[in-house]
Amino acid sequence: MKEMMRYSLFESYVRTAPIVVEVADWSDFVADMADLTEHRKANEHTKKKATPSVSPAVYDNGGTRLNANVTGWGGWAALDVDNDLIYTSIEDAQAAMEAMGLSYLIYTSTKAKPNHHRFRLMFPLTRELDAEEAKTAWKALVQYFAPVGPDASCKDISRIYGAPSFFEPAEDGNTDPYSVFEFKIDGNALNIDEVLAAYVPPSEPSWTPRTPAPSEPSESMDAPSFPFPEARKTIPYGSTIYSSPVVRADFVNEYLNLPKGAHHLGLYTFMARVAGRAKAKGFRLDVNELVAYARQLDGISPIKTANERWTRIRTEAERALRFAG
């Protein structure tokens, strides 16, 4: 792979003026990241004030780090894997990238510990992206790499990533840091056009609750959405099982670890638990959102739900909402 790439280099997290660097290919990029690696304390002060940062976002001369100033991505992308929901070890992530035949760079972040991996996953793309493409590409990549469990909230196209470090214990931070720097330079670049073509945007809610007039009867419990009249909070649009405030990690992990034959009941149980948490936390839950969570869960499970069941999944979701209500 001999495609020129670009990245922006910042003096630290708090600096906004980039130096846009060109490299010949992925191997040169990895070499640059290795050159940035130093021994650093594993605390927030060092992370923000004394660690260089990099970004796939590139800028025209004089542009500072703002989404509005980004002209595109320089032929690569990065994801944060914090393991706050689905747990993916570094070895799991490496195995996934190897299975796809992709080049990559994986290195741990400040809060990583031997028993709780937190890391950056970086990889080359088949081409650069303009700013509008980058906005969609971020969502598409989160969806594409869903089994790895990337942090879906890190969606700014100008996002920066702290440079690799050999972390030293810090009493005011991570007292048991974990330092890893793993890479592959002879794989393929991710075909970003295929990823964009496969992206399925989340659907807008099809039904919005309203307060009935005094002369009107209240909504039936057979209504398709939001059966909790006391709910006031709205789930952020586009939330996934990785970022939704009503999906807990143990809901997902318990489903993924069910024995063969238990997934049919397990999927309904998952929906009922999510609906119950939504009511308990005061969130309005749309039946479409609940179905979307079920589909996402099925997508990362090695045991798939039969196609026939999806024809009646809305009915099951509505039943789970009524049960929680």
Cβ 106 vs Cβ 120: under 8 Å: yes
Token pair recorded at residue 160: 């920066």
pLDDT, tens digit (0-9, with 9 covering 90-100), for 120-132: 999 999 999 999 9
Average pLDDT over every residue of 209-227: 42
- The three-point CA angle 211-237-285 to 5° equals 45
pLDDT, tens digit (0-9, with 9 covering 90-100), for 165-191: 999 999 999 999 999 999 999 999 999
The more confident residue out of 150 and 34 is 34
| Phi, psi of 288, deg, nearest 5 | -65, -40
Distance separating alpha carbons of residues 44 and 283, to the nearest angstrom: 33
pTM given for the model: 0.68
